[in-house]
Amino acid sequence: MMRDNIVFIGFMGCGKSTMARKLAIELDRIFLDSDLLIEAKFNQSINEIFENKGEYFFREQEQKLADFFILCQNTCIASGGGFINVKNLEKIGLSIYLRADFEYLKKRLNKDEIAKRPLFFDEIKAKKLYNERIKIYENKADVILDIENKSIDELIRELKKVVK
Ligand code: S3P
Cβ 12 under 6 angstroms from ligand 1? yes
Mean pLDDT of 41-70: 98
Rounded distance between C-alpha atoms, residue 78 and residue 121, angstroms: 21
Residue 98, ligand 1, Cβ within 6 A: no
155: left (phi over 0), alpha (psi -120 to 50) or beta: alpha
How many whole angstroms from its chain centre is CA 134?
Answer: 13
Indicate whether 115 pLDDT > 80.
Answer: yes
Residue from 19, 35, 130, 137 whose mutation best tests the ligand 1 pocket (most atoms within 8 A of CB): 35
Between CA 79 and CA 73 the distance in angstroms is 16
What's the CA-to-centroid distance between 18 and ligand 1, angstroms?
Answer: 14
Mean pLDDT, residues 91-110? 97
CATH fold of the domain at 5-159: Rossmann fold (3.40.50)
DSSP structure class, residue 48 = H
Q: Report the length, in residues, of the chain.
A: 164
Instruction: Answer whether 0.75 is exceeded by the pTM.
Output: yes
The response to whether residue 117 sits with its C-beta less than 6 Å from ligand 1 reads: yes
DSSP single-letter state for residue 7 = E
What distance in angstroms lies between residue 12's CA and the mean position of ligand 1's atoms?
6
For the chain, the C-alpha Rg in angstroms (whole number) is 15
- 78 contacts: CB under 8 Å, gap ≥ 6: 8, 16, 17, 19, 20, 21, 31, 32, 33, 34, 35, 36
Pocket of ligand 1 contains residue 104 by CB under 6 Å: no
Q: Show Cβ contacts of residue 115 under 8 Å, excluding neighbours closer than 6 positions.
A: 47, 121
Domain ranges across the chain: 5-159
Provide the pLDDT for residue 162. Answer: 86
Residue 86 CB less than 6 A away from ligand 1: no
Average of per-residue pLDDT across 37-50: 98
Residue 71's pLDDT band (boundaries 50, 70, 90)? very high
pLDDT at residue 9 above 70?
Answer: yes
**To which H or E segment does residue 35 belong?**
helix 34-42
